[in-house]
């Protein structure tokens, strides 16, 4: 469909300090207010007042003050209707400052209005501490239907009103004005050469052409293909590095007259590979005729390998297809682009009255001044990630290397931290020499016990009085075995005796150290029971064991927090036992096929709420839970990234920035609402306040106030009707008690009510409020001992019969 745009340039010239080719790749819009005016900015509502001020500025002389905010969505806006073009990537940034007495969220939001209606798109967001300038930034690409009526850039603080805020240095940059930090390949072919690209296959030719290009003047033309794997390639063997993750983007174009398939592949050979392997990055993406399409994905190079060959290539199952390649970018996504937020609260201080907050770190953190300072700011307990494991301390019999372990202990002592030692006995990362004699045969029981005793007493004795807790035995339980014991080499030679001996010898080496048994999946009932029996029996025998370490490698949906709580309850019934959470992280993935190039906002929000729920539970057991240690300082340091995809399991991102998971623990008021999506089952009901059988098939929506579930809502639909049954858990009756149901008929998710939006507020006392009562066909409210129930029937008005897949209910 033809899209029309009308430009009235004289209306917008006052907005710009610098504007190069309005709407183009070279666009630069900059608002600094240094001319003493609002530069086109208005309030998001008529009541909002804007002022140019000199008392609070980022730098320069002036900034824009936003005050008289009576609604959380009261902020400032500027029209960019005639400045930006659709389907183009822009970088938008601004600095904000506020006078609230607590952290506040800020957002840059685009308001887009076209023939379809009005919608809002989030561009960027941040959490700002009081009286500290903070940058918000984000990428923005938009589209519209038929014609663009309005495009506004809004800066708002969406959670609360009643405080003033300031903005300064707002900037909008076109793609050519945005630098690409971390770029290791940037093939634009604007040099007029093939730029290290090669033909792949006999007879294939690659030529630089100027008849078509994604951007600029030139692209790479691929012709002469006769096999599906023929195409164009670039050798990355000496460019990519081990232990890093890369984003890859390749634009392709073809003019065969019909849609074709094109694939992006990495040809790889590591020292661990017996033969060359081929890893698909993008599989047979549909490329319409005469249309540039992006092939994008990510590629991870494992840490402990040697790269022999890495070749990126473009191919097609159509053996005769000619195609073009342009704007190839390979970017190191692990490159750090920021500095820690020194102004935010310390995690250790926030939980001072509950338990120690620890972090497991690799040695490289200790020798990085910025990261070491970050550790000291947020944590009061440290664990060496690998440097105190047997293979690190005694790689060969009798040859101990304490250089790195000593550095951890010294760092902790100099900075007032405590050390958790990890780990003395484990089936993994233990040199094989422990288990064989001088002739290479399996070690005898006597020899292995002697070696174990020597290792434990040497290590624990060296740090007597300096390491406050040890994971003495790690992961000795396997619930799949009839007796529950892992069939490790320790067990095969010594039987379960080695566990008891390890604790005794560790205690003899340091009688004041706290000694722990440590394991994962302690939330699984069968494994939990085996660990309980083991620890209880050790305690009853008088073996010096002081606690259980729950590793807590969890994800955003598993396990239930209640199962972790059940584990704590069970283990705490053993007299004299403490609980440490020893290796906490929360994967954002729930199944093998998932992978996110960047962390989706809804997943980050979900992770935040789950971290909050976990810590709210842990705080209830502060008398038994005495240490909570995160397994990693920031996301790119997580061991989970070694599993072939980048994960986001910790509180800080790769650029040291606090995620919503951090704020969920420190200042949960800043969390966005947790949006829950449930499929609405089909069915009818009699509206009488009693739950019909039809609701049994509904997927319930749980409403949680951060501490407990306060309501369960079950919606069903039939033809043009919606039935809702809700149970509210509130034993204290009050006339202000109510439940509000919103129906967003155009699914715009606007921050305020639009003309199509309908709400029904059901008060516990029987009253209702609505902006369109005729849609409510029937309702009833019933009291219960635990609270009250609401049931209603809503008639769909605008769109007609409800269709499968339609999003309607908030």
Annotated active-site residue 583? The verdict is: yes
Place of tokens 């920031």: 634
CB 452 within 8 A of CB 411: no
Distance CA 660, CA 79 (A): 30
CB 686 within 8 A of CB 780: no
Collapsing DSSP to helix, strand or coil, 151 comes out as: strand
Q: How crowded is residue 99: how many other Cβ atoms within 10 Å of its Cβ?
A: 15
CB 718 within 8 A of CB 686: no
Place of tokens 């931290």: 417
Per-residue DSSP letter, 148: E
Distance CA 77, CA 80 (A): 10
Collapsing DSSP to helix, strand or coil, 13 comes out as: helix
Collapsing DSSP to helix, strand or coil, 143 comes out as: coil
Place of tokens 């007042």: 49
CB 425 within 8 A of CB 452: yes
Q: Which contacts (CB < 8 Å, 24+ apart) does range 753-758 have?
A: 754/117, 754/118, 756/117, 756/798, 758/797
Place of tokens 């979900």: 606
SS (H, E, C) 550-597: ECCEEECCCCCHHHHHHHHHHHCCCCCCEEEEEEEEEECCCCCCCCCC
CB 92 within 8 A of CB 31: no
Alpha-carbon distances of 75 from 33, 104, 113, 252, rounded to whole Å? 16, 14, 18, 42
List the catalytic residue out of 475, 523, 727, 793: 475
Q: What are phi and psi of 270, to 5 degrees?
A: -105, 170
Distance CA 565, CA 523 (A): 8
Structure tokens given for 700: 């319930």
CB 251 within 8 A of CB 188: no
Q: Closest by alpha carbon to 295, among 585, 539, 597? A: 597
List the catalytic residue out of 25, 34, 341, 583: 583
Distance CA 728, CA 710 (A): 6
DSSP 501-514: HHHHHHHHH-TTSE
Q: Closest by alpha carbon to 648, among 610, 596, 584? A: 596
CB 271 within 8 A of CB 304: no
Annotated active-site residue 414? The verdict is: no
DSSP 757-794: -EEEEEETTS-EEES-GGGEEEEEEEEETTEEEEEEEE
Within 8 A by CB and 6+ apart from 261, the residues are 284, 285, 286, 287, 316, 317, 318
Place of tokens 């897949």: 805
Q: Closest by alpha carbon to 419, among 581, 636, 624, 629? A: 629
Q: How crowded is residue 117: how many other Cβ atoms within 10 Å of its Cβ?
A: 15
- The catalytic residues are 475, 583
């Amino acid at each position: 469909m033809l899209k029309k745009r009308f430009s009235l340039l004289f209306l917008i010239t006052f907005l710009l300090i610098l504007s190069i080719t309005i709407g183009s790749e070279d666009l630069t819009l900059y608002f600094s207010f240094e001319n003493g005016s609002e530069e086109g900015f208005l309030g998001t509502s008529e009541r909002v007042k804007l002022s140019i001020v000199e008392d609070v500025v980022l730098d320069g002389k002036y900034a824009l003050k936003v005050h008289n905010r009576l609604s959380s969505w009261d902020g400032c806006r500027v029209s960019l209707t005639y400045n930006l073009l659709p389907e183009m990537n822009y970088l938008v940034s601004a600095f904000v400052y506020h006078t609230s007495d607590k952290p506040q969220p800020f957002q840059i939001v685009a308001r887009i209005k076209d023939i379809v209606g009005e919608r809002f798109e989030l561009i960027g967001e941040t959490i700002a501490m009081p009286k500290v300038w903070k940058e918000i930034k984000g990428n923005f690409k938009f589209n519209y239907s038929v014609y663009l009526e309005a495009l506004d850039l809004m800066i708002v603080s969406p959670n609360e009103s009643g405080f003033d805020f300031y903005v300064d240095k707002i900037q909008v940059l076109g793609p050519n004005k945005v630098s690409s930090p971390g770029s290791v390949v940037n093939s634009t072919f604007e040099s007029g050469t093939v730029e290290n690209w090669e033909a792949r296959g006999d007879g294939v030719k690659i030529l630089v052409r100027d008849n078509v290009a994604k951007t600029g003047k030139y692209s790479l033309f691929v012709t002469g293909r006769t096999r599906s794997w023929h195409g164009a390639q670039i050798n990355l063997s000496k460019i990519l590095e081990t232990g890093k993750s890369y984003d890859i983007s390749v634009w392709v174009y073809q003019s065969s007259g019909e849609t074709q398939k094109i694939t992006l592949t990495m040809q790889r050979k590591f020292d661990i590979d017996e033969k060359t392997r081929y890893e698909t990055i993008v599989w047979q993406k549909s490329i319409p005729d005469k249309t540039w399409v992006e092939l994008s994905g990510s590629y991870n190079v494992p840490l402990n390998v040697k790269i022999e060959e890495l070749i990126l290539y473009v191919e097609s199952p159509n053996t005769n297809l000619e195609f073009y390649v342009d704007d190839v970018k390979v970017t190191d996504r692990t490159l750090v682009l920021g500095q820690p937020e020194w102004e935010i609260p310390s995690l250790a201080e926030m939980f001072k009255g509950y338990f120690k907050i620890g972090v497991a770190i690799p040695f490289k953190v200790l020798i990085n001044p910025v990261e070491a300072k970050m550790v000291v700011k947020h944590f009061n307990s440290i664990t060496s990630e690998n440097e105190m494991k047997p293979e690190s301390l005694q790689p060969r019999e009798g040859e101990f290397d304490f250089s790195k372990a000593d550095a951890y202990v010294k760092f902790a002592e100099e900075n007032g931290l405590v050390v958790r030692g990890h780990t003395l006995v484990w089936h993994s990362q233990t040199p094989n020499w422990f288990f064989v004699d001088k002739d290479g045969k399996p070690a005898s029981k006597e020899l292995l016990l002697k070696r174990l005793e020597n290792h434990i007493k040497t290590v624990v004795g060296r740090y007597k009085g300096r390491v406050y807790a040890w994971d003495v035995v790690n992961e000795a339980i396997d619930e799949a075995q009839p007796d529950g014991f892992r069939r490790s080499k320790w067990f095969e030679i010594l039987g379960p005796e080695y566990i008891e001996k390890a604790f005794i010898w560790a205690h003899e080496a340091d009688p004041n150290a706290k000694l722990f048994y440590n394991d994962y999946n302690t939330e699984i009932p069968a494994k939990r029971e085996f660990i309980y029996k083991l620890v209880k029996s050790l305690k009853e025998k008088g073996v010096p064991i002081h606690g259980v370490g729950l590793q807590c490698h969890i994800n955003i949906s598993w396990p239930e927090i209640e199962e972790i709580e059940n584990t704590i309850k069970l283990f705490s019934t053993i007299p004299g036992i403490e609980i440490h959470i020893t290796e906490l992280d929360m994967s954002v993935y729930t199944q093998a096929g998932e992978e996110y190039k960047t962390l989706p906002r809804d997943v980050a929000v979900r992770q935040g709420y789950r971290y909050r729920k976990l810590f709210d539970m842990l705080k209830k057991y502060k008398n038994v839970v005495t240490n909570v240690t995160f397994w990693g300082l920031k996301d790119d340091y997580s061991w989970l990234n070694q599993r072939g995809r980048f994960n986001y399991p910790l509180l800080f991102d790769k650029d040291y920035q606090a995620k919503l998971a951090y704020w969920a623990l420190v200042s949960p008021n800043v969390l966005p609402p947790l949006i829950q999506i449930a499929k609405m089952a089909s069915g009818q009901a009699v509206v009488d306040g009693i739950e019909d059988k039809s609701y049994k098939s509904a997927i319930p929506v749980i409403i949680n106030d951060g501490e407990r579930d306060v309501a369960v809502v079950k919606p069903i639909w039939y033809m043009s009707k919606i039935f809702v049954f809700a149970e509210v858990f509130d034993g204290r009756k009050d006339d202000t008690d109510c439940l509000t149901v919103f129906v967003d008929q155009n699914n715009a998710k606007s921050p305020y009510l639009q003309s199509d939006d309908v709400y029904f507020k059901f008060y516990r006392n029987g009253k209702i409020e609505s902006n369109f009562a005729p849609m409510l066909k029937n309702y009833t409210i019933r009291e219960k001992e635990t609270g009250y129930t609401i049931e209603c029937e809503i008639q769909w008005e605008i769109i007609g019969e409800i269709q499968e897949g339609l999003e309607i209910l908030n």
